[in-house]
Structures are given as structure tokens and as C-alpha cells.
């Protein structure tokens, strides 16, 4: 995917988080597809500068986002995660709503840079976030969605 196409999967994800489908199945399928498109977009990008700062948010921002996104995706919650660092790793607890909040927040920053015309900076931030933060959330959440849609 050329970097010129980066804005499309980002916008689609952010729009979905704001206004998901009413049906549980459609909502989960749309979220799974949006996450797949974000992962695919990563593989088409190249970056040169990974100087990255996290945007400061108001103190109550996370609680408010948790309530809002949690209400839009009520079937999501906690799930089991096992790190792939070694066979002796213990399971941990993942939080799907927190995953969505982290992905959403970082992609808002990416889109803001994109819309300002800073396409390479936006691509760099996307690459950095995927490699070092929200990419793990995406992959863990995507596995959880697979279980919700097809295994449970």
C-alpha cells in the first residue's frame, strides 16, 4: 500500500469507533475488518524518522473514552493474553476497550498530521506506534475478535 493510501484505513477505523453498526455481529465483523486494514497498511509504509511524542490528554479523558467506546462495543471486555516471549510466560489479562482507546488515540494523531499535509511524518508516527505500542493491542484484540466471531 502506498503511503498515499494511509489515510483511508485510519479514517475508516476512526469512523467505525464513533458510529459502529447496531448489530453485534456486524459490529464485530466491521471492527475485525478495520483492524485487518490497519495491519495491512503498516506493511506498505516506509519510515525514516521515529521521533515520537504521545499527545497529552485532559485528566478525565481516558475515563470518558472508556465509557463512550465501551457503550458502543458492549460485547467487548477482558480477555486472556499470552505474550510470545517464551514458553514459560504466564497468561495476562487484556482489555478490549482499553485496546480500542489506545489505537484510536494514536490514529487520531496520525490523521491530524496527515490532514496538515505532513504525510511522511504521519507515516513515521503510524509505523512507530504500530511497532512499539498499538500494534500489539491490535493483534491481541484481533485474536479476541476471532474467538468471539467464530469460536465461542
Say how far apart CA 104 and CA 127 lie, in whole Å.
15
- Tell me the per-residue pLDDT of 36-81, one tens digit each, with 9 for 90 and over: 999 999 988 876 665 656 566 666 778 899 999 999 999 999 999 8
Q: What is the pTM of this model?
A: 0.88
Full set of structural domains in the chain with CATH: 3-50+63-78+91-151 (1.20.120.1550)
Q: Which residues contact 100 (CB under 8 A, 6 or more apart)?
A: 17, 69, 73, 76, 141
Q: Dihedral of CA 32/33/38/40: which sign? A: positive
At 5-37, the pLDDT tens digits run 899 999 999 999 999 999 999 999 999 999 999
Beta bridge partners of 93: 80
Q: What is the number of other CB atoms lying within 10 angstroms of the CB of residue 24?
A: 14
Structural contact between residues 35 and 141, judged by C-beta atoms closer than 8 angstroms: yes
Amino acid at each position: 500500500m502506498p503511503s498515499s493510501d494511509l489515510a483511508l484505513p485510519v479514517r475508516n477505523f476512526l469512523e467505525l469507533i464513533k458510529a459502529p453498526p447496531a448489530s453485534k455481529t456486524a459490529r464485530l465483523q466491521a471492527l475485525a475488518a478495520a483492524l485487518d486494514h490497519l495491519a495491512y497498511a503498516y506493511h506498505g509504509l516506509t519510515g525514516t524518522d521515529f521521533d515520537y511524542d504521545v499527545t497529552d490528554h485532559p485528566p478525565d479523558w481516558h475515563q470518558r473514552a472508556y465509557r463512550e467506546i465501551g457503550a458502543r462495543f458492549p460485547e467487548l471486555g477482558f480477555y486472556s493474553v499470552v505474550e510470545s516471549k517464551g514458553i514459560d510466560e504466564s497468561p495476562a489479562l487484556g482489555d478490549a476497550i482499553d485496546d480500542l482507546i489506545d489505537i484510536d488515540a494514536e490514529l487520531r494523531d496520525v490523521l491530524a498530521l496527515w490532514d496538515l499535509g505532513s504525510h511522511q511524518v504521519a507515516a513515521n508516527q503510524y509505523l512507530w506506534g504500530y511497532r512499539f505500542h498499538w500494534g500489539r493491542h491490535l493483534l491481541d484484540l484481533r485474536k479476541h475478535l476471532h474467538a468471539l466471531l467464530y469460536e465461542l
